[in-house]
Amino acid sequence: MVISVNQQHSSFFGVVGPINLRDTVDETVLSEIRGAMDKYAVLVFRDQQFTDDEHKAFAKRLDGELHTKTGAAALTKSRLGTEAVTDISNVASDKTLMKSDDRRRLYGLANRLWHTDASFQDPAGRYSMLHAQVLPQDRADTLFGDMRAAYDGLDEGLKVELEGLQCHHSIAYSRTTLGFEFSEDEHEKLKGAVHPLIRTLPRTERKALYLASHISSIIGWELPEARILIKELMEHATQPQFVHAHQWRDGDLVIWDNRATMHRATRYDDANQRRELRRVTTLDIPEAPAIIAAE
Ligand code: OGA
Ligand code: MN
């Protein structure tokens, strides 16, 4: 083993020992990182330095094709000039802090709902890689939940009932629950996607609840029945025993598997403190045979 991992929570979440990812090209090391992702579902790499291009190149080496439709792309063009890098910041295009009524800010507040990235798209997001570049003075943790442990913790009878269910995920739905309004044109672009509620992770064959605040319905179910069940599952899955809070340090790169976890941002003083992170997410398409064979 080249990498060492320090587990932070009883079921998941590891901090990896010193390694410089922008120079990591060795397939054995990349394969160890994938193996560690299968085990821990979230990994933190300290002190990373990436340009956007290096960040994207690393993401491709680790997990293949990049997602370019993960979020705000339907609303506005990114200030970063590439849709493969998502701007997770409170900074406007003129580099000042966003005004409280800035539409991008209001849109971004929904990151504080529990979610998985790009589940409202098909293909959805697989690995998200979020890099901390400027952090506020106060804590602005990201919370992660282990959806494999949450699945394991369901009653056996309920597991059987949930098997085979398909959910519709819509970003317009999750934002609308907060009172955010979309134009008709935007609605048209944000039709959403259907994904199974229970996913089996290909390499470990563990099952996980695939949940998000984006879920608007269960296919073939009456709406109130679908929504109450999803609400109950969200409550179950976000109980403290399944959750770990990541306290950011400058230079952290956090990688999470969206098939195995949910996450959410937390509140901070965004009117006065700058927070700039950048995210690259891979496409949840079948893995390249070389990657599967290497495991
Ligand atoms: C994300 C996200 C949470 C945060 O980057 O996908 O949800 O704390 N971020 O910024
Ligand atoms: Mn997210």
Per-residue pLDDT 10s for the chain (295 aa) are 789 999 999 999 999 999 999 999 999 999 999 999 999 999 999 999 999 999 999 999 999 999 998 776 666 777 777 889 999 999 998 999 999 999 999 999 999 999 999 999 999 999 999 999 999 999 999 999 999 999 999 999 999 999 999 999 999 999 999 998 888 888 877 889 999 999 999 999 999 999 999 999 999 999 999 999 999 999 999 999 999 999 999 999 999 999 999 999 999 999 999 999 999 999 999 876 555 554 4
Q: What is the pLDDT of residue 157?
A: 98
- pTM (2 d.p.): 0.95
The single-letter code of the amino acid at 258 is: N
pLDDT for the residue 288? 62
Cα 95 from chain centre: 25
How do the domains of the chain map onto residue ranges?
5-281
Name the strand (E) or helix (H) holding 257.
strand 253-257
CATH superfamily of 5-281: Clavaminate synthase-like (3.60.130.10)
- 110 CA to centre of ligand 2 in angstroms: 9
Q: Which of 279, 281, 282 is nearest to 131 (CA)?
A: 279
Cβ(236)–Cβ(94) under 8 Å?
Answer: no
| Whether residue 87 has its Cβ less than 6 Å from ligand 1 | no
Distance from C-alpha of 32 to C-alpha of 1, rounded to nearest angstrom: 7
d(CA 116, CA 118): 7
Nearest ligand to the CA atom of 85: 1
pLDDT of res. 230: 98
- Among all ligands shown, which has an atom nearest to the Cα of 88? 1
**Ligand 1: residue whose CA is nearest its atom 4:** 265
Q: What are phi and psi of 270, to 5 degrees?
A: -75, -10
Residue 243's H or E segment, with its range, is: strand 243-246
Pocket test for ligand 1, best of 277, 281, 282 (most atoms within 8 A of CB): 277
pLDDT of residue 185: 82
In ligand 1, the atom with minimum distance to the C-alpha of 248 is: 8
Mutation probe of ligand 1 site: the residue of 89, 139, 142, 213 with most atoms within 8 A of C-beta: 142
Give 133: exposed, middle or buried? Use CB within 10 Å, 0-12, 13-18, 19+: middle
Q: How far is CA 167 from the centre of its chain?
A: 18
